[in-house]
Structure 1
């Protein structure tokens, strides 16, 4: 991220909005670090998606998460799926934040997690090819089963 997201701190500095607090939790000023990985709201589904993918959950920072997940996950196919999940997490946090900003609606983290899981399984199923081994297909199937439970 190149600090281009229009967070409330940035909007406040420009005189566009008066509030600086996070739209999702209200506990801190809304900057990219808080919004994506320190916010209580965001932490709930980061922890949930990490557990779903069996990636050890730590205090991820947006700028180091890609590297950390890449080090933890050795299998190249699982690594691609996990990177897609991390991208989906970032996208859905920003989507939820904008919903809160424009529509004054906060999406429940459980709903966001379900959307992320369904999206990742759907996209991963499209990637299945001859390089996938049976264990990869079984892993994806197990992920899929958890999406709808």
Structure 2
């Protein structure tokens, strides 16, 4: 076992994924999922971490056009939606293998109560969307976020 391998992190990651699947299933069965969430064809992976003065969410969105990404802070959640389109047509031939994900995507992140929604910044660079969410003392209202 290498010194960088941490089986507890893998177990935690698996548990979070199972919890996410169960939450999604419950939301869909109770009619709480939005139409956008119901038609999402893939789910980009994300890292979340906290600094002294902000929360950071990084989503891998390779091949997604910046114009196809939308973010919104609403009801204590950060909603990220978009679409990845197939750019190439296999004219005169047929694909033999398609492993990459295409189509609409949707992610929903619960925000802590101490965030400044008006100060949220989103930067898209090299296929990674980085969302910086500043901390504050009181909850804030719903706002739209521009991707830079």
TM-score with structure 1 setting the length: 0.29
Structure 1 or 2: more strand by fraction: 2
Larger RCO (CA within 8 A; separation ≥ 6): 2
Asked which structure has the greater CA Rg, the reply is 2
TM-score with structure 2 setting the length: 0.29
Structure 1 or 2: more helix by fraction: 1
